[in-house]
C-alpha cells in the first residue's frame, strides 16, 4: 500500500447526505476481486444518463452534465467533500476501491458509516471527520472558487485551506501510523516475517507429522 503523508488537491463537493455504497459503486459491477478498474463506474447511476453494465465502453456513454464530477472544474479532484453518513448501506469494500481508483485519496464529511470508514483506512484512503458547520463552509468555498485546493497533512493532522486556515482533525494513532508507513493488514503481518518463519521451522522440527 502506498504511504499517505501529505496530499494537496482539488476538492469536489458532493452535496448529498446518506450516500450509500450502492450509489458509490452499483451492485452489477461487483464481479471482480481486483482493486482496480472500478473508477469509471464510480457513482455510475448519477454520472451517466444511461444504465451501466460491466463491459460497456464508457467513452460512448452519455454523461450527466449536472453531476458534480462531470464538471470540468472538478476534473482530477483528489479530495471529496461529502455530507453526513457517507458510505452507509452494504459493507462492500468495492466502494473505497472505486473511489481510490477514480483518484480520491481523502474524504471529508461530518460522519461516515462505520464499516466504510474502516475500509477506507485498509485501502490507503483517509476519511476525515469535521463538524458539520466547518464542512458546510468548505462546501461554500469550493463552490465559489474554481480550482479550490485543500492540503491534508496527516502527520500534523490538519486540513489547510487556500486562505491558510489550518483545521485540525482527529485520527486513531494506530491507523495514522499504518497510513504514514503504507501498511495494510498484509504489510503489518510481514513486519513479523522472521518470527513467522522461525515459528514454522520450530513446528516442523517438533511436530514433523503435521508436515508429512
What are the residue boundaries of the structural domains of the chain, listed by start? 6-181, 184-212
Residue ranges of the chain with per-residue pLDDT less than 70? none
Give the total residue count for the chain.
212
Looking at residue 134, its pLDDT comes to 98
Scanning 6-75, the segments in alpha helix (DSSP H) are 21-24, 44-47
pTM of the model: 0.90
> What class, spelled out in words, does domain 6-181 have in CATH?
alpha beta
Looking at residue 211, its pLDDT comes to 83
Taking CA atoms, 57 is separated from 18, 43, 52, 97, 130, in Å, by 29, 16, 10, 20, 38
Cα torsion through 14, 55, 105, 74, rounded to 10: -40
Phi-psi region of 10 (alpha: psi -120 to 50; beta: other; left: phi over 0): beta
- Per-residue pLDDT tens over the stretch 9-58: 999 999 999 999 999 999 999 988 888 899 999 999 999 999 999 988 98
CA 8 to chain centre: 15
Looking at residue 27, its pLDDT comes to 94
Looking at residue 194, its pLDDT comes to 85
Phi–psi pair at 194, nearest 5 degrees = -65, -40
Instruction: Please count the other Cβ atoms lying within 10 Å of the Cβ belonging to residue 128.
Output: 22
Amino acid at each position: 500500500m502506498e504511504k499517505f503523508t501529505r496530499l494537496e488537491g482539488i476538492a469536489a463537493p458532493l452535496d448529498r447526505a446518506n450516500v450509500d455504497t450502492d450509489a458509490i459503486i452499483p451492485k452489477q459491477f461487483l464481479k471482480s476481486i481486483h482493486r482496480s478498474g472500478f473508477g469509471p463506474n464510480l457513482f455510475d447511476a448519477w454520472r451517466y444518463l444511461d444504465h451501466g453494465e460491466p463491459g460497456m465502453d464508457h467513452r460512448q456513454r452519455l454523461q450527466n452534465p449536472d453531476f458534480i464530477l462531470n464538471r470540468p472544474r472538478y476534473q482530477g479532484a483528489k479530495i471529496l467533500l461529502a455530507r453526513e453518513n457517507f458510505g452507509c448501506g452494504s459493507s462492500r469494500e468495492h466502494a473505497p476501491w472505486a473511489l481510490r481508483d477514480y483518484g480520491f485519496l481523502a474524504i471529508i464529511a461530518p460522519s461516515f458509516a462505520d464499516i466504510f470508514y474502516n475500509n477506507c483506512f485498509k485501502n490507503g484512503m483517509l476519511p476525515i471527520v469535521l463538524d458539520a458547520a466547518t464542512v458546510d463552509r468548505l462546501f461554500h468555498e469550493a463552490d465559489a472558487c474554481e480550482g479550490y485546493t485543500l492540503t491534508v497533512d496527516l502527520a500534523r493532522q490538519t486540513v489547510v485551506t487556500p486562505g491558510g486556515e489550518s483545521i485540525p482533525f482527529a485520527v486513531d494513532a494506530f491507523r495514522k501510523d499504518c497510513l504514514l508507513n503504507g501498511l495494510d493488514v498484509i504489510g503489518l503481518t510481514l513486519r513479523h516475517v522472521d518470527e513467522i518463519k522461525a515459528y514454522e521451522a520450530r513446528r516442523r522440527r517438533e511436530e514433523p507429522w503435521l508436515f508429512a
